[in-house]
Structure 1
């Protein structure tokens, strides 16, 4: 019997009650560190993809309180990681809206999920590529990155 078949036998209340248990177990296993499930899964999958590929830099996930960057390579390069199941990333809340000439991360990793939250792709963009393709997202008036065909072509596809 598959897990999906067993899940279909649960009542609505039983199914809902599984969610906190799943979050707790994901934390115990070190897969996630907060309750931001999609963002944390994206970081976990990105780090695993990089660390299991000898052609890519090894990544160490940063403390959750680190501004603008989610991981650092063994060479000291800073990586922002965004996970999405849509056509754009969430906003980059701590990046200034006006260009100040500073580089806030060397690379952006975009982990894209399908609508059923299976992994679609992992893309890597440089800071300069991020600057080229980013858009101001209303009403937040913060930067985000639309996942357009041009972005997919320009980015380095990791997975």
Structure 2
């Protein structure tokens, strides 16, 4: 009964939002960001990234076989969380196959040794409704060998490919019905 009520409410809410003007929908988005910040669900305006970080932290901290993670301060370079052993995690969330960029890495073709910026990267793949679709963990070595260069941004990113999936630890994958 409660589930039907909640789902019915969500449908009513969606219908109400769809009836709003474009300007009102944009205002509503701003209000939603404010509520999410007040509830400490997000810390910045990067909604997909913040939801992905939250889902990764929740998953790690609820799964007994994984280390507990805690967030680092907003603005920390290249690192989003650390575990109890101070191992650093970069968390990237996406609703597509490509991650956001990894700043602070040497340029393509650089002869300089690459400083290790984190121990692990966690890729959180979200469905369009921001529910969890998949979560993968790569160690630093696998990250270095799989990263791809973005010429226009002059930085690196990852693409969720079959090769990445085969080399990553699959933490979660949504089962298709």
TM-score by length of 2: 0.84
Encode CA deviations 1:48-100: one digit per residue, 9 max, x unaligned. Answer: 00011111010011111111111000111000000111111111122222352
Shift of 1:139: 1.0
Shift of 1:3: 1.4
1:6 aligned residue: 13
Q: Quick check: which has more Rg, 1 or 2? A: 2
CA distance in 2, matches of 1:21, 1:151: 37
Runs of 4+ in 1 over 4 A off after TM superposition: none
SS across alignment from 1:128:
helix
2:168 to 147, 152, 155: 155
SS across alignment from 1:125:
strand
CA distance in 2, matches of 1:43, 1:117: 12
Compute the RMSD of aligned alpha carbons. 1.5
1:125 to 107, 123, 138: 138
Question: Is 1:29 aligned with 2:42?
Answer: no
TM-score by length of 1: 0.92
Structure 1: runs of 5 or more not aligned: none
SS across alignment from 1:3:
helix
Shift of 1:2: 2.6
* Number of matched pairs: 159
1:95 to 98, 105, 125: 105
Structure 2: runs of 5 or more not aligned: 1-7, 173-177
1:106 aligned residue: 119
1:40 aligned residue: 50
